[in-house]
Amino acid sequence: MSFKDEWDLASALKVLQHPTVDSQLWSEAVEWLLKYGPPSIRRILLDASQTATEMQFPDLQPSHYTPDGEPVYDVTQLATSLGISEQEVQEIITKKGIVNDLFDLFDSDSVSKSVH
């Protein structure tokens, strides 16, 4: 069963609303919603994620932005901010299945250095 099929909107939202849910289960529900959830929920989660990133890593600055204004970060800067190696960052990106999206993103002319 693929990750996409492990969840549906109702179950992911139920996990997010549960007051004592396991953190691993909660993060999987958020990840599913970010990948497959409706745009309105994705936007709420992305905004919250950006706020948390800015608070926890104030020196980390996006290297580019997507056409939707979402920040894109440099692997070297992420590694430095997180205190891990670039290889570890790459492994996390690959494990999360983000790598294909990133390559598609950077292969296109749709990434800019400023927010639109």
pLDDT tens-place string over residues 7-55: 999 999 999 999 899 999 999 999 999 889 999 999 999 899 889 999 9
Residue 107, pLDDT score: 45
Residues belonging to the chain:
116
52 within 8 A of 35, measured Cβ to Cβ: no
d(CA 108, CA 114) in angstroms, rounded, equals: 16
65 within 8 A of 71, measured Cβ to Cβ: yes
pLDDT 10s digits, 75-107? 999 999 999 999 999 898 888 776 555 444 444
Confidence tier at 113 by pLDDT (50, 70, 90) = low
Domain ranges of the chain: 1-56, 62-116
The model carries a pTM of: 0.70
Residue 80's alpha-carbon distances to 14, 46, 103, in angstroms, are 35, 22, 22
- Is 70 exceeded by the pLDDT of residue 112? no
